[in-house]
Structure 1
Amino acid sequence: MTKNLNTMVETVRELFQDSTLLVRQEIQLAKAEAAEKAEQVKLGVAEIAAGGIIALVALIVLTQALVVALANFMPGSLAALLVGVSLALVAWLCISRGQRNLSSENLAPRRTTRSVRETANRVTEAV
């Protein structure tokens, strides 16, 4: 009887130690993943800012193209218009990509969530 009790106490002690270790590892994983997501946020913000600057340049060029087109009715305005439209497209692409990087779906801590579920299942099975 004492041997069974000692074995059970040792099993509970090991389970507690393993659970403590798993919780610490989960916390480390969550911290690492949060750092990755912070980098992703910074990149997304930088891309949106770059897109905004390019959009401003596109607006200036498109405005210039309109002025030239209205003032001169010359083919040179077509070149300015093409450059302005091209810059507007690049700006749209940058902003779209930045918004995608900032979406809540991309920022969710998937690995941590999966790992916590797996840990909970292992602890449940062990108990």
Structure 2
Amino acid sequence: MISPVHGTGAHQEDPEPPEQDRSVSHLLSAVTTDLQLLFRQEVELAKAEVKDEASRAGKAAGMFGGAGFAGCMVLLFLSLAAVLGLANVIDGGWAALIVAVLWGVAAALLYMKGRARMKTVSPKPERTVETMKENAEWARHPTK
């Protein structure tokens, strides 16, 4: 006679579904937890990278601002030199007026070019709106 403790009786061949179910559910839980942790870490990494890039962009923008100011100073002193140079030939008032008119012409030309380019700019993100419409259409009829 085969005893259930020492032999190969029916008790040893039966699989234990509760332990397997717990094992699978434990694995799924662990995978889900790991994925959540990974996602959080990726989000934190992205935040850190964006913060670093924004800081560098801010510094670069400050340098551009300084360069713009320096450029304005150069134009101011070149204009002053032009006025003083013309003042050797004609009256100082007329020299200043000529330089001012030249700057006015330059400003008008830049304004017209800028206005023409601004007309081509669309404030609405056209491609994004189009893809959003496509996504909404697909969501209404996903089998098409």
- TM-score bracket relative to the smaller structure: 0.5 to 0.7
Matched positions, count: 71
Q: Percent of counterpart pairs with the same letter? A: 13
Q: Which residue of 1 aligns with 2:72?
A: 52
User: By how many angstroms is 1:51 displaced?
Assistant: 0.4
CA displacement at 1:38 relative to structure 2? 0.6
Match of 2:33 in 1: 13
1:35 aligns with 2:23: no
2:43 is aligned with 1:23: yes
Whichever residue aligns with residue 31 of structure 1, its letter is K
- The Cα of 1:64 is off from its aligned counterpart by 1.1
1:68 aligns with one of 84, 88, 104: 88
Structure having the larger proportion of residues in helix: 1
State the 1:27 CA deviation.
Answer: 0.8
Superposed CA offset, 1:50-106 (max 9, x none): 0011111001001011111336xxxxxxxxxxxxxxxxxxxxxxxxxxxxxxxxxxx
Whose RCO is larger (CA < 8 A, sep 6+)?
1
**Larger Cα-atom Rg:** 2
| RMSD, matched Cα | 1.1
Runs of 4+ in 1 over 2 A off after TM superposition: none
Matches within 5 A, 1:97-108: none
5+ residue gaps, structure 2: 1-20, 92-144
**5+ unaligned residues in a row in structure 1: which ranges?**
72-127
Report the counterpart of residue 107 of structure 1 in structure 2.
Answer: none
- Distance in 1 between residues matched to 2:68 and 2:89, nearest whole Å: 31
Deviations 1:9-33 (A, max 9, x none): 0000000110111111111011101
User: TM-score scaled by structure 1?
Assistant: 0.53
